[in-house]
Amino acid sequence: MGMYTHTNQKLIQLIVILYFMPEITSKFEFTNIICNCVDEKFCAMDYCYLKSVNRSYKYLSVKVHLLQPPITNAKVNFAMYKRFSGYKPFLYNITVDGCKLLKNRKYNPVANYFFGFFKTLSNLNHSCPYHEDIIVDKVTSNIINHHATAVLPFPEGDYLVESHWFIDDIERAVFKVFGTLS
């Protein structure tokens, strides 16, 4: 009987310690963004930058000017890389129908994971045919923090999310977003 009481006391002590222990959370921070219009007859980058307002607040903004609208057939390849002596494939590499993704958020949950927060902070709010320039304005790491730490926890390290955009089965643009999870 005494052994069970000792075990219960230890269990209660562990529960109390865990309850009062501060929560350990990771933090995502953008480190770079690279945008490239592969087909300069189709699109032009008006701007693509990472802005550091202060040491703890950064955001990225992108504006792609479409030279040959409308977009009626789009595919997007999303790939995630983690740095291990160079960037190596990590966890995801998917290609989705961009028009279906814009039209139906339940079309592909993994793609929506990457694309969903950009959709809410951009003018990508309607389906194909798409006539407007693409504007992603002031995406902060706070949005990604929730996805990379609470929704689907990732190990600490340096990451790259690369997306290749194909319009009419021709590669038109490539975006690379770099960040650190610490």
For the domain that residue 131 is a member of, what is the CATH number? 2.70.220.10
Residue 154 covered by a domain: yes
Domain encompassing residue 172: 28-181
Contact between 78 and 115 under an 8 Å Cβ cutoff? The reply is yes
Cis ω before 109 (30° cut-off from 0): no
Domain total of the chain: 1
- 71 in any annotated domain: yes
Is 84 a domain residue? yes
Of 138, 158, 173, residue with least CA distance to 39: 173
Q: For residue 46, what pLDDT is reported?
A: 95
Query: What is the spatial distance between Cα 84 and Cα 66, in angstroms, rounded to a whole number?
Result: 36
- 3-state secondary structure (DSSP) of residue 3: helix
Question: What's the confidence (pLDDT) of residue 165?
Answer: 93
Quick one: how far is CA 170 from the chain centroid?
23
Other Cβ atoms closer than 10 A to 11: 10
The predicted structure's pLDDT at residue 77: 92
53's tokens: 């307002």
Residue 42 lies in a domain: yes
pLDDT 10s per residue in the chain (182 long)?
555 566 666 666 656 655 555 555 568 888 999 999 999 999 999 999 999 888 778 888 999 999 998 999 999 898 999 999 999 998 888 888 888 877 766 655 655 555 555 555 556 666 788 888 888 888 888 766 766 566 666 788 999 999 999 999 999 999 999 998 88
**Residue 62 falls within a domain, yes or no?**
yes
Residue 153 has what DSSP assignment? Answer: -
CA atoms within 13 A on the CB side of 123: 11
Is 75 inside a domain boundary?
yes
User: Within a domain: residue 1?
Assistant: no
Q: Is residue 13 part of a domain?
A: no
